[in-house]
Amino acid sequence: MKRPPGRMLRVGGVPLHVLREGSGPVCVLSAGLGMGWFDWEPVVPLLTEHRTVVRFDRPGLGFSAPPVEPPTAVGEAARIAGVLDALDLPGPATVVGHSLAGFHAEAFARLHPERTAGIVLVDGSVEEDVRPIPARELRTAAAHARGHAVAATGLPRALGPALRRLAVRVSSVKRHDPAPDELVRRTYGTGRVARALLMENARYYDVAAELDELRALHPLPPVPVTVLAASPGTGSWLERRWLERQRALADRLDARFEAVAPAGHLVMFDRPQSIAAAVLAMPPVRA
């Protein structure tokens, strides 16, 4: 396989795989837990004529180097700022966060209000009244050890790509993963990505609790916020409850709410045009 597009930039002491495309006001796309830059492929062509689109792989994911420390809300907000600095894009950006990265996008806006033009949360993670879970360092060490043990067995190479495909099928109404086979093998077939995925999962509630603390200390800047909620169209109790929680998040953030249907959790695969429309509806703010 040829060299992946983009370049490696050192951000926060970690070489990150970063892509910058298009022109115009800046838009940052940050994918959910364990996902990579290529998961935004269906969305990017809809934006690059009108926006400078920035994508990056968090440490250990995609083609980025392994992390030097576990993820935190403050750290991920700083990483987004660091990516923009490395690209010499100091001005305000619209930050799009999918799933777990919705925490990161909101933290960025609260901690870097002068650099935020808008926020789009794409089926963002929601945790109401979350409390810190005890023994964070012990849990982190256990996740680290578990990741290295899994990598040593060769399981990522044997099962990683298949598990990725399965996760996409159950999270998309299209039931199809658009990522090329070789790209999936080169990423999800590695122990590096498996370790990063396990660590993000282990620190999920810690990041949620940290964001809750940030909400009490740092108000959102007066910028437009959109919450896009996936609606598969099944009419199930679980779907109705999820939409209620997403609407409550929108109310909490004084955001515009939109149920995107039909779509599974991977909205970028099922309804990329809805994400692009939400970004392009943001008032264009140039650096």
* Average pLDDT, rounded, for the chain: 95
Task: Write the DSSP assignment of 178-216 as a string of letters.
Answer: -S-HHHHHHHHTSHHHHHHHHHHHHTHHHHHHHHHHHHH
**In angstroms, how far apart are the furthest CA atoms of the chain?**
50
Mean predicted confidence (pLDDT) in 238-259:
98
In whole angstroms, what is the distance from residue 53 CA to residue 187 CA?
22
Angle ∠(157,158,161) on CA atoms, nearest 5? 70
Closest to 228 (Cα-Cα) out of 249, 252, 204: 249
Residue type, 18: V
Question: pLDDT value at position 286?
Answer: 59
- pLDDT, one tens digit per residue, over 76-116 is 999 999 999 999 998 899 999 999 999 999 999 999 999 99
Per-residue pLDDT tens digits for 31-90: 999 999 999 999 999 999 999 999 999 999 999 999 999 999 999 999 999 999 999 998
Question: Residue 275 pLDDT more than 70?
Answer: yes
If one compares 106 and 4, the residue with the highest pLDDT of the two is 106
What pLDDT was estimated at residue 194? 96
CB 175 within 8 A of CB 147: no
Tell me, what amino acid is at 96?
V
